[in-house]
Amino acid sequence: MTIEVLPARLANQIAAGEVVERPASVVKELVENSIDAGATRIQIDIERGGHKLIRIRDNGKGIVKDELMLALSRHATSKLKSLDDLECIASLGFRGEALASISSVSRLTLSSKPSTQETAWQAFAEGRDMAVQIQPTAHPDGTTIEVKDLFFNTPARRKFLRTEKTEFSHIDELVKRIALSRFDIAITLTHNQKVVRQYRPRAMEHGVQRVAQVGGKVFSQHASFIESGHEGLRLFGWVLPAGVTNSTQYTYVNGRMMRDKLILHAIRQAFDESIGHEELPGFVVYLELDPRQVDVNVHPAKHEVRFHQARLVHDFIVQAIKQVATAQTELSCDNDTV
Ligand code: ADP
Ligand code: MG
């Protein structure tokens, strides 16, 4: 075989394998784009578990007409210019891959209107070589992205899609995680034209209301608020007492949702050391630190991070959680004697 450069679409489809695993991953990428665009309202409409339609509307800053095509091409991003920027990246995206990847495995329509532009424009990407057509459309300030027929042209991937119900439950779970990453953003989720979740905007200090909405009654009744700081590290959030297990186990690093092994390990160790209880209770924990101290470019979907001072971060989390775990045991001892 001779060596040849892959056609754009094929290259994007291959890259899509890393970012677009299922409908929920499309929702994640698109909603993160809306958040990066400064949206305060995000509407997520799903049809048939996302097999048929995923539509995200936001009231963010929009994309100017001349950049619509660029937004859909690979390695095109407005969020990063140099390697230095990557060291202290604050936006959720930066790889410039999501829209190119998603549009290579679906029928994607992008409509947008920045407030500075009088008319809205729409780009449609489908077919060979990612040719994009652009036409005027009606749209308020902000952006709407419609993704239809996910994996229609990659049957091998389509085969892996689960039932409508399962795929929607992944989306619902993801939207919960996002809702807890930004209390100030209003988020509505519909499935087959019915409103399934409605998260109203809350000030950070009233965040517990949203935590209760996601984590359920058990969370609002039993969780303790924790807050701790040490050498540029800050941890806050809500933790349930040991024994009250709840599947709400969410961790965030600088506003990014994570399933980071180091953080989970530290939380488990804290509970184990203070009360000899290895089963994790529910928790929603936010870690904040200097972005230079953490590498977010470890995983294409950014589920994991790498801390420069891993030991320090780990021990800090153990200490912070241990305080509340210990306080809770004292509390339950008191109760025993009453
Ligand atoms: P990345 O988020 O890594 O930059 P994407 O492929 O997700 O890459 O998006 C490409 C670019 O398109 C973004 O950098 C941004 O400029 C623009 N964009 C995407 N979605 C939106 C949106 N909802 N509102 C405004 N701009 C957007
Ligand atoms: Mg993005």
CA-to-CA distance for 173 and 46, rounded, in angstroms?
14
Asked if residues 80 and 86 have their Cβ atoms less than 8 Å apart, the reply is yes
Count of structural domains within the chain: 2
Residues 141 and 268 in one domain: no
Which of 7, 41, 45 lies closest to 191, judged by CA?
45
Residues 175 and 317 in one domain: no
Residues 141 and 222 in one domain: no
Task: Please indicate, yes or no, if residue 204 is contained in any of the structural domains.
Answer: no
Residues 36 and 116 in one domain: yes
Distance 71 CA to ligand 1 centre (A): 6
- pLDDT for 338 equals 38
Q: Mean pLDDT of residues grouped by 10 in the chain (338 residues)?
A: 84 80 95 97 98 98 95 86 80 87 93 97 76 91 97 90 96 96 96 97 83 87 90 92 82 91 92 77 92 83 85 95 74 48
Give the mutation target among 31, 72, 99, 105 for probing the ligand 1 site: most ligand atoms within 8 A of CB.
99
283-288 and 249-253: which strand pairing? parallel
Residue with tokens 């488990």: 268
CA-to-CA distance for 160 and 21, rounded, in angstroms?
9
- pLDDT for 332 equals 55
Task: Please indicate, yes or no, if residue 338 is contained in any of the structural domains.
Answer: no
Task: Please indicate, yes or no, if residue 212 is contained in any of the structural domains.
Answer: no
* Burial tier of 335 (Cβ tally within 10 Å: 0-12, 13-18, 19+): exposed
- pLDDT for 224 equals 87
Complex ipTM more than 0.90, yes or no = yes
Is 55 a pocket residue for ligand 1 (Cβ < 6 Å)? no
> Which two structure tokens, joined as six digits, stand for 301?
């979907």
- pLDDT for 130 equals 64
Ligand nearest to the CA of 70: 1
Residues 107 and 47 in one domain: yes
CATH number at residue 324: 3.30.230.10
Residues 185 and 302 in one domain: no
Is 63 a pocket residue for ligand 1 (Cβ < 6 Å)? yes
Residues 179 and 284 in one domain: no
Distance 120 CA to ligand 1 centre (A): 17
CA-to-CA distance for 261 and 329, rounded, in angstroms?
25
Ligand 1 atom at minimal distance to the Cα of residue 98: 6
Residues 99 and 170 in one domain: yes
- pLDDT for 329 equals 61
Residues 269 and 173 in one domain: no
Closest residue by Cα to atom 16, ligand 1, is: 78
Asked if residues 320 and 233 have their Cβ atoms less than 8 Å apart, the reply is no
Give the mutation target among 30, 74, 77 for probing the ligand 1 site: most ligand atoms within 8 A of CB.
77
Boundary-marking domain end, from 199, 228, 252:
199
> Which two structure tokens, joined as six digits, stand for 74?
């690979």
Q: Per residue, what are the HEC states of 175-231?
A: HHHHHCCCCCCEEEEEECCEEEEEECCCCHHHHHHHHHHHHCHHHHHHCEEEEEEEC
Who contacts 218 (Cβ-Cβ below 8 Å, separation ≥6)?
A: 240, 244, 246, 282
Is 169 a pocket residue for ligand 1 (Cβ < 6 Å)? no
Mind giving me the DSSP string for 105-172?
Answer: TSEEEEEEE-TT-SSEEEEEE-SGGG-EEEEEE---SEEEEEEESTTTT-HHHHTT---HHHHHHHHH
The alpha carbon torsion through 22, 28, 33, 37 (nearest 10 deg) reads 150
Is 143 a pocket residue for ligand 1 (Cβ < 6 Å)? yes
Who contacts 54 (Cβ-Cβ below 8 Å, separation ≥6)?
A: 23, 26, 27, 30, 44, 45, 46, 146, 147, 150
Is 73 a pocket residue for ligand 1 (Cβ < 6 Å)? no
- pLDDT for 236 equals 93
- pLDDT for 91 equals 84
| Range of the structural domain that residue 272 is part of | 217-333
CB atoms within 10 A of CB 315: 15
Distance 116 CA to ligand 1 centre (A): 18
